[in-house]
């Protein structure tokens, strides 16, 4: 065979696709979701937070993008702007179902209202991983990726009790009805605080709602009502805590009332440094986004996924906040 003839055969072979196949999702041949021998596709994964205007969700987004880069998939990030827009979040889920994404990672902002939308995804064979906040009964999903929020509430109670030496009157300000993650924190706190007989709960039935301004207004009313009786307070999520801190400062109680928060923000971290905040219960939002995307991709590739994945809970104080672990959790990465 002369060189010209061999060259023509090589060109013909390439044109007919005789060479080895290459996966679009990570660099080599792979199996599809059904376990066949065709190359793995580049999956499109919708990641839907409760809202998009708090730092916590930006860090979840960073974790999701990290997983996407590792697994060679595309993340489609979209959610309502504010966390109380349940109808908006339902619309986002249904739009992604209509677009036939390959998988969905959802942080439901209402435990019951999102059940039907998740079931619709299941009916279309689109797997769903729930993260951050649990979904009520009635729809199937692959896994639940979250903080142990009940334990987080217990940690908050222990920290507040420690700062008060086991004595005093306290307030817990709730978030909003139907938010399963914060409801678990609230129940964990109230359950654990009962173990300290010297601590009395003045109020635990008021809701701060979804924005800092709403939380500030509610907290201010609580301080007007209870005045100098209050020795300590616990607020259960970032907007609640930001509003509570402003109310404490405006009431002239900063440093006097012991305050335990849940989730960091710039103002809460400054408060920790200045002894206005006396503990922050921390989650790992980067890991939450990362593990949620990894779980849905594992499922699509036919791998076994545990029904529940914990991302841990921690307590930052003025004493430990400079340690590397807590610096990472207090300042989680966000997308560039």
Here the CATH number for the domain that contains residue 126 is: 3.40.50.2300
On whether residue 318 sits in a domain, the answer given is: no
On whether residue 9 sits in a domain, the answer given is: no
Domain of residue 242 covers: 149-282
Backbone angles phi, psi at 187, to 5 degrees: -70, -40
Q: Are residues 204 and 255 in the same domain?
A: yes
Q: Are residues 164 and 270 in the same domain?
A: yes
On whether residue 208 sits in a domain, the answer given is: yes
61's CB contacts (< 8 A; 6+ apart) are 47, 49, 77, 289, 334, 335
Instruction: Give the residue from 328, 291, 314, 260 showing the smallest Cα distance to 152.
Output: 314
Q: Are residues 120 and 162 in the same domain?
A: no
Q: Are residues 274 and 193 in the same domain?
A: yes
Q: Retrieve residue 304's tokens.
A: 């076994």
On whether residue 7 sits in a domain, the answer given is: no
On whether residue 324 sits in a domain, the answer given is: no
pLDDT at res. 238: 92
- Share the mean pLDDT of the chain: 89
Would you say residue 162 has pLDDT above 50? yes
On whether residue 21 sits in a domain, the answer given is: no
Span 109-134, mean pLDDT?
96
pLDDT at res. 250: 96
Would you say residue 21 has pLDDT above 50? no
* Domains identified in the chain, total number: 2
pLDDT single digits (tens) 196-220: 999 999 999 999 998 999 999 999 9
On whether residue 18 sits in a domain, the answer given is: no
Q: Are residues 164 and 87 in the same domain?
A: no
On whether residue 320 sits in a domain, the answer given is: no
């Amino acid at each position: 065979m002369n060189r010209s003839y061999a060259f023509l055969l090589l060109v013909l072979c390439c044109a007919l696709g005789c060479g080895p196949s290459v996966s679009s999702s990570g660099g080599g041949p792979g199996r599809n979701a059904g376990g066949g021998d065709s190359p793995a596709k580049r999956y499109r994964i919708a990641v839907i937070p409760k809202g998009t205007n708090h730092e916590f969700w930006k860090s979840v987004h960073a974790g999701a993008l990290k997983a996407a880069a590792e697994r060679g998939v595309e993340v489609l990030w979209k959610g309502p702007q504010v966390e109380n827009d349940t109808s908006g979040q339902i619309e986002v889920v249904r739009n992604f179902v209509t677009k036939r994404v390959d998988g969905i990672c959802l942080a439901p902002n209402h435990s019951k209202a999102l059940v039907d939308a998740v079931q619709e995804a299941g009916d279309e064979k689109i797997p769903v991983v729930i993260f951050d906040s649990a979904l009520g009964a009635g729809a199937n999903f692959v896994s639940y990726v979250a903080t142990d929020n009940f334990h987080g509430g217990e940690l908050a109670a222990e920290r507040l009790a420690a700062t008060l030496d086991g004595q005093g009157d306290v307030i817990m300000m709730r978030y909003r009805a139907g938010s399963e993650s914060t409801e678990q924190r609230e129940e964990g706190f109230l359950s654990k605080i009962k173990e300290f007989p010297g601590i009395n709960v003045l109020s635990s039935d008021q809701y701060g709602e979804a924005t800092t301004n709403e939380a500030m207004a509610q907290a201010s009313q609580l301080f007007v009502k209870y005045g100098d009786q209050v020795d300590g307070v616990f607020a259960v999520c970032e907007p609640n805590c930001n509003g509570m801190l402003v109310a404490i400062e405006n009431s002239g109680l900063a440093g006097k009332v012991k305050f335990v928060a849940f989730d960091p923000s710039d103002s809460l971290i400054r408060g920790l440094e200045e002894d206005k905040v006396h503990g922050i219960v921390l989650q790992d939002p980067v890991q939450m986004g990362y593990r949620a995307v990894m779980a849905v991709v594992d499922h699509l590739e036919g791998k076994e996924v545990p029904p529940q994945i914990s991302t841990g809970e921690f307590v930052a104080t003025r004493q430990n906040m400079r340690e590397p672990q807590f610096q990472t959790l207090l300042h989680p990465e966000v997308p560039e």
